[in-house]
Amino acid sequence: ENLLTKQDTAKGSVSVGDTANFDLSASAAVFQPASTQTMVTEPSKQDSSNAKDSGNTGANKSVKKGGEKSNKPDGKHSEGGKQGGKKQKGMDSNKKQKNNDRNDKPDGKPDDSGNRQGGKKQKGKSSNKKQKNNERNDDKQSTLSNKPKQNIKQPANKSKSVDATPLAPSIPPNVPQQTSDINYGKDERIKVLHVAEKPSIGLAIAKGLAKGSFDSGGKGLPVHTFTGPSFPKAPNASKCTHKVTSVAGHVFNVDFPSQYQSWDSVDPAELFDAPIKKTPCKGSVVKHLQDEARGVDFIVLWNDCDREGENINFEVLDCCMHLMKSGGGSSNYDRVYRAHFSAINPSDIIKAYNSLGKPDKNQSLSVDARQELDLKVGVAFSRFQTRYFQGRYGDLDSAVLSYGPCQTPTLGFCVQRHIDIETFKPEPYWTLELGLLKRGRMLRATWGSGRSFNKNKVEGLVTKCVEENATVRVTSRIIREKKQGRPVPLNTVGMLKACSKALGIGPHAALKTAESLYLSGYLSYPRTESTAYPKSFDIAGTLQQQTNDNRWGNYCSDLLRQGHTKSRGGVDAGDHPPITPCRSARAGELSGDMARVYDLVVRHFIASVSHDAVWRSTRVDFEIEALGDQGKFSVGGKEIITPGFLAVLMHKEYGEDADDGDEDDEERAIPEFEEGEIIPLMNQSSNSSSKVGVAPSVPCWGTLILKERMTTPPTYLTESELITKMEKHGIGTDASISTHIENVLKRNYCTLESGRRLVPSKLGLVLAQGYHVIDSSLVLPQVRSDIEDQCNKIAKGLANREDVVKRAIDIFRGKFDFFVKHIDRMDVLFSSSFAKLEDIGKPFTRCGITRRYLQFIPGPPARLYNKFTETVYPLPAGGTIKQWTGRKCTAPRCDFELCLYTVGQPPRTFPLCPSCFNSVDWSLSTEVQNAANPVDRDDANKEKQIRTIAGKALTLECPLPDNHPLIEELTVSPDPDSDGVFIVDPHFGPKWRMVSTRAPTIVYLPKSIEKLTVLDKTDEVLGCHLIKVEFKPNESPLSGGETNYVCSFPTDDVLQGMVRLYHGSERLKAPQCRGGRGRGGKGRGRSGRGRR
C-alpha cells in the first residue's frame, strides 16, 4: 500500500532496491576477517609483554581440550581457557585467523582469544564438562552461519604467533570472572579506583560511599579520596582507600585517519574500505586516568548502565588497566568490576557497591559495530551528494546534504505522510443522524451503518420514514461498570511521547531535561526500555518520599493506607527499571522544563501503582422498524464512579485510548429510557425533504437528519506519532530516537509546525523521493531495522561483530556504487525544484584563469562559481566575505582577484584568495599535522573536526597559512602568544592596527599615526618587514618633532609604549569582555583605552 513503492513499480523497479528486505543473519558465506579495517587507538603504547607471557602458558595447555568442541560464533572463552570462536580450515587458516584477531578490537589491541587466560587455573574436569555443555547450547542459538560444524585440532604452539608487543593488554570477553583469591590484600592496605561517566555522578558516588567527609582535588575532573568502607571483593584487607573520579562521556572518538579527511581528494567510495581509528577526545582525560590508576588494586566502573556506558567502560580499561598493581592481562581484569545502578541516591549506590558485577564486552562491541557502520555509510553518501548537488544548485538552504542510516528513514516517514496528504482526494459521503429530545435534553444517536457514499440510497431511507410515518423503538438499555486500566510504567519512548503531547516539549529537549534531573538526583536513569517494575523495586518507599508534597502528598498518603497496586502489564527489559522519581522536590525548587518534566514523571509513577478508574457506562439502542437493518441507532455515555488514578493523572494528557474503556462514549448522563418505549417520528413544518420530525407537544420526540460530509486527509505526523513509527520499525534505540528527529530538523529537511507536527521541506521531499527513484531501500526502514537486529544479537553474544560489519558494509558498498551511477535520476528532481548556480548569484571577483567574473553564491555554504568552467570555489565559513578593490593574488601562477575575510569579535580582517584557499599547497590542515606534541595534535584534530561543515572548516582565523605570499607581505611581527604572526590590517587606516593570524588578538596603533607603510626590507633577525610610520604634525613622539620613522615593530621601544593590546574572541557573536592592557601602555576601564 506504500505510495513510494507504487511509484517505483510504475517507473520500473531498481534491482538494487529489491534488497530492502535482506537478512544479515541468513548468509551461508564463510566469514573472512576484514584485514583492511585496521583500527588504531592512541591512548598509550606501554609494553604489555607480561600479559602475553602469563597468557600463553594457560592458552597452550587448554587448546587441545577445548578447541575441538567449541564452535561458538562470538568467539567466547571459558575461564578454563577453551579455544572458542570461528571454524578453521587447516593450520594456514588457523595462523591467519590468529594474526587477524589482534585487529578485531577497534583500538587495535589483540582479540580476546589469544592470551587472556594467563594466570587462570583449570577448574577440573567437571568445570570443563559444564563449559562444553554450555557451548553446545550456545551453538544452537547462533544464526550467523550455516556451515557444517568442524572439529579441527589446533596445535598448541600456534598461540605463540601473537605479536609480542601489543598496544595494550588484551581484555577478556564477557565471562563471569571473579577474584580467584578471596584473601587478596589480607591484612594489607588496598586502593580502589572508582570511575564514573560524569563529574556530578562521581560526586554522588563519593557522598554515597564515604561515611564521613572526603577530600576533593582537581578542577576539570575532580578526584574524591576517603578511607572505608571495606571492599566486598577483598574483605580481609586491613584498610581500603577509595578514589572516585570520572571521565566526561566517551574517552575516544571514532574517525577516519587524516589521509581520508579531505572531501576533495578522497573518493567517497574509498571510505567503505578505509581503516578507522580511535583517538582520544581529549588527551588530558587519558593522562588523568593513567595517573589515577597507577598502582591501584581494583577498578570499579560506574558508567551508565546501557550499551554506550559499557563501551565507555572498555575505553577506560584500554587507558589504564595495565597500570594496576602487580599481575597483568587477565589477572588485572579479575580485579575490574562494574556497578549496576539506576539512580544516584545513597541507598542505590550502596546497593550497587555491594553487588558488583563484570563489564559486558558484547554490549560494547555492538556499539563499536554501529559506530563503524554509521561512520562509513553516512560519511560516504553525505560527502558525495553534498559535493555533487552544491556544485550544481545554489539555493539548497543546507550546509550539508547528510545521509544517515537512521536519519533518512526517519525523514522517509514524514515524506510518506506528506505524499498521502497531497494525493488524497476528498469524497462526499452521507449519514443519518437521529436526534432525541427527552426531559429537556437533546441527544444525537449514531447510525449503525456508519456512512454511505450513495446519496440516493440515504435519501430514500428518509423518504421511506416520511411515507410510512415511522416511529423509533428502544430495543435495549444496558448499564454496566467498566474499568479504565492504570498506565503502564514509563520508559524512554513513553516519556518522549508524553512530553511532546502533554507538555509540548520536543523529544531532544525532553531527554536532555530528564538527564539533567537524573544528574541532579531527582529521577532514575531516563534511558530504559522497561515498562515493568522489578520485584526488588521499593514502590512503598518511593511513594512515601512524595507524601509531603502539597500537590499529590495527600493522595500518596491515602494510597499507602489503602494499599498500592502492582504495575499493569509491561516488560522488564533487564536494563534499567522504568523512569521514577528518586526524591521529592519542594514547590519552587525546580523551574521551567525541569519542573514540568518532573511533575509529569511523578504523576505517571503514582498513577501506575494506583487503582483503576471505574466508570458507569450506559448504552441505549434504538430501531426504526420501517428501515429494517438500516434503521439501527445507538447512543452512549459514561459517569465516573471511582476516579482511581485519574485523580492524579488524566489520561487524555497523553492522547492514549484506555484499553478497557470505550472512548467513543462521552462523559455525560443518559436520560431514562424504557426498553420497548416508542418514540414517534413525524414530519417537521420545514420544507426540507431531508428532515422528518414530530410535534413539539410530544414528551419525547426525535428528528432524522440527512448529513453530508467530506472525507478528510490524514494530518502531518506529530513527534509522538513519528516516535511510534520509529519504535515499530526498529529505527534507532530508545536513547537515539530523539537525536535522529533533531537531526532531521537541524538539516532543514523538515520544519516543526503548530501541534508539534513535522512538515517536510522542499529539500527533504526531493531527497527522499530521489532516494526512492534510485534505490528505495535507502529511505525505507527495513535495511536499518535488520542492522539494528544484528547489533542486538552482538550485544547478546549471538553474533560476531566483524561478521556483521563486513556483510553490512558489502551491502551498502553495492548500494553506493549503484547510487553514484544513477545520480542523474535524483538530479532531475533537484533541477525542477532548485535554481542552478549559473542562474543565481552576482558577479564578485575575477577568475585568474579565464579572467571572467565569478558569481558569489551566499549559500549556505558560501561559494564562488565560474559558470564558464562550471568550477565551484568554496569559501571559508564562520565570517563575512567582501570584495577588495581588484587586488590580485601574488602567489605563483594564481592571479585571482582577492577578497577580504572578516571574523571574530572585535572583527579581524584578512586577505583571501579563493583559489589558494582551496589549494592543497596552501591548506591550513597541514599545520595541525605539524604539531610536535601528540596530545596537542589530538586536541587540534578534534577541534578541527568539531568545526567542520561540508568539508570545509569553520575558519575563525586567517584563511591562508602564514607562509603565503599575501601574508608574508603584511607580516610585521611574530605573535608570542600563538604560533601565528601579526599583519597590518588590510583596510590600511585611518584607524591603524595589526591583527594576529592565529589568535583573536588585535594591536591598536596610536591615533597620532597618519600613514603606515610596510617596506620590502626585512629585519635580519626576525625576518619581519620593517614599517615606515608618518606621524601627524604636532603629535609626533619623536625628538625634534620628526614625523617620519622607520623601525622593526617587535624591537622598537617607541611604538611598543604607545600601542594597546586587545584579546578578543573567536565566537561568532560579540562577547561581553573587557579590553586589555597594551605592551608597555596603560589600559583601564571597559573601553580598554591606552596611551595615544
Residues 6+ apart with CB under 8 A from 306: 363, 525, 527, 575, 576, 735
Residue 995's beta-bridge partner residues? 983, 1002
What is the 3-state secondary structure of 159-216? Answer: HHHCCCCCCCCCCCCCCCCCCCCCCCCECCEEEEEEEECCHHHHHHHHHHHCCCCCEE
What the block records as the C-alpha cell of 964 is 603565503
Question: Do residues 75 and 800 make contact, with C-beta atoms less than 8 angstroms apart?
Answer: yes
What span, in angstroms and rounded, lies between the C-alpha atoms of 684 and 692?
A: 5
In angstroms, what CA-CA distances link 164 with 48, 168, 702? Answer: 8, 11, 95
> Which residues are known catalytic residues?
525
- Cβ count near 285 (within 10 Å): 23
What span, in angstroms and rounded, lies between the C-alpha atoms of 250 and 247?
A: 8
Tell me the pairing of strands 189-196 and 298-302: parallel
What span, in angstroms and rounded, lies between the C-alpha atoms of 66 and 86?
A: 13
The dihedral through the CA atoms of 556, 561, 567, 573 has a sign that is positive
Residue 239's beta-bridge partner residues? 189
Residues 6+ apart with CB under 8 A from 700: 436, 437, 438, 677, 679
Exposed/middle/buried for 414, CB within 10 Å: 0-12, 13-18, 19+?
buried
What span, in angstroms and rounded, lies between the C-alpha atoms of 753 and 768?
A: 20
Within 657-736, residue ranges assigned H as helices are 719-729
What span, in angstroms and rounded, lies between the C-alpha atoms of 794 and 790?
A: 6
What are the percentages of helix, strand and coil residues in the chain, rounded to 5?
35, 20, 45
What span, in angstroms and rounded, lies between the C-alpha atoms of 251 and 260?
A: 22
What span, in angstroms and rounded, lies between the C-alpha atoms of 1049 and 1046?
A: 9
List, as one string, the DSSP characters of 980-992: SEEEE-TT--SS-
The dihedral through the CA atoms of 161, 164, 168, 174 has a sign that is positive
Name the phi and psi angles at 559, rounded to 5: -65, -40
Question: Do residues 44 and 169 make contact, with C-beta atoms less than 8 angstroms apart?
Answer: no
What the block records as the C-alpha cell of 882 is 567582501
